[in-house]
Chain A
Amino acid sequence: MSNNLALKKGLDIPVKGAAAREVIKTVVPDVVAVKPTDYKGLVPRLLVKEGDHVLAGSPVMADKMRPEILFTSPVSGTVSAIVRGEKRKLLAVLVKADGKQEAVDFGAKAPETAADAKQLLLNAGLWGALIQRPYGIMAQPDVTPKAIFVSSFNTAPLAADTDFTLDGELLDIQAGVNLLAKIAPVHLSINKAVEASTLFHKVEGAVLHVVSGKHPAGNVGVQISHIAPIQKGETVWTVSPVLLAAIGHVVNTGKLNLCRKVAVTGPAAEKTGYVVALPGTPVKDLTSVPENVRVIGGDVLTGETLGADGYLGFFQDQVTLIREGYEREWFGWAKPIRTKVHSSSWAYFSWLTPKKKYNMDTNLHGGPRAFVETKCFEDVTPMDIFPIYLIKACLAGDIEKMEKFGIYEVLPEDLALCDYVDPSKNEIQAIIQKGIDLMIKEMA
């Protein structure tokens, strides 16, 4: 059974630096970080202290409110440091790898009930992989979602090609789907462009949806809003394909293996390609970082600034390197043609070179202003909502209006392109996140 979904609106940002389909190295990290900041809605409680020995799959921290949710070490080794920030906020647990990669055995057995399935995810430290909508927070174990959605592909700029990164892991993916299907019906969307060849087409036990369109067609939130819009009181869960495979791997082997192919991308990357690495791997092990370059964990629209000293996040299978745009272009806005700057607006001439990829930087290309042009938001938001009204409701903190205009259906990532196209340079994702945070606070 498959359903077609053709999305017309959207925008593919032409950034230079796509990763070719080849593994350029395999990282055996010396130290990995477990970062509580990767998970939205987590108040961590530390379970280890410096010097403790851990295995791959040993818990290092838990959720303070729901102690059954464990977060585990991806490697075996010794806890080498506890990194804290302001007000002693826990930022990371560093584990020095012993190189043996001994793993906790969770038992290679497919769970038979929903409770078993949940228990396995909680024990293995993979519960955090489940994201609950509305609000995009860590899933609540006592909730039964309406459905679980997986988008098998990512349309974000330079995103990792899941057909390459998960090549050969069909059995794990299938086991992951089987496990999630114990909890709720699983919906899997596949990319129409590779419909015939994608390995996800062979997955059974899930409702398949064939999706086509520009970014954000690959965003699971956009797909949900077309397949089964989230209403007040409903919850759905989502999981990324990479973590779905990791879940399946635990089922099949009993061991936690978070190893993934990470796409090293971006115009400022000295060498692009795929690097096999664990989450928590130091950035400097993944790629060299030139001066004045920003390292983003994820894509240029939604990624997190990791910094040259940072560590790859739990959800990230991509790092993007772009120049910091401190240079100031003379008469930028007044030039008839700017060959080095991309614009989706026809007020510039990028439309003449649709295939051209740009060496983009982080320059804002203007100053912040009040909203003037607003149709640009609708053009990049393939959802049945009025973005500008939702944005304004979030700014006003008006709960009722936020509900009416679809706050349950969106996460900042779904409106990330609005950040990009806005000539008034508003921070749309931050505004939406603020709205969501308010909803969480008020509706709790």
Chain B
Amino acid sequence: MKEVLLAAKGLCKQFPQDAGKEQVLKEIDVDIYKGDFTVIMGSSGAGKSTLLYALSGMDSITAGKVFYRGEEISRYKERQMALLRTREFGFVFQQTHLVSSLSLFENVAVAGYLDSGKDTKAVRQQAEELLSRMGVEKAKDRFPSQVSGGEAQRAAIARAVINRPGLLFADEPTGALNKRNTDEVLKLLTGLAESGQSILMVTHDVRAAIRGTRILYLEDGKILDEMSMGVYREVESKEREKKLNDWLSGLSW
């Protein structure tokens, strides 16, 4: 029996400017399990990113409840949410969203500094190791405007995992990257998943989605279907891609 990490019950979302129109998310019930690399797919405008940000507490919800490790976080005050983001949640965005005035190393380290339980030396060492693991140790003293998109995104992943979050949220992490950088970033995410990191990723890219162990398909604000796959193996990528494409074809993808 898998442990439920994140759960939504009757989750609804409607943007204020769309009052009176259809909801973007319609009473979604979903469980995200510990250790899973969960992927949310869906057609454009289906509400994938909206669901990701509603689940992660980045955006308010209209109705329903969100639970993390059994505790309702949808009613959290800002301070509780900030603590949750420091220690339990990590975020990777499509645009890297690194702080422009901080070097890559500092972008990673600052997130570590926020965790008051850690000492400076440990954080710095951990940041160095992560950047090295992400393959950007040579660019660590550069600023976001001085590195390539791929390097910036790898630094962003390092920042997201420095506090060993319970769940890593990734919103189209390869959406703005070229093929080479996409492969590198996906490899990193797969590696993290293999090491036991729970990941919840939104993507419309099949090559990215095949890295997941569980695929949710969202359409018109509802989870239409889901599919499970085994842990990703490079040699099985073609078969996984075919399986996923077949499944998506059945869902009018």
Q: Do A and B bind each other?
A: no
Which residues of B approach A to under 8 Å, CB–CB? none
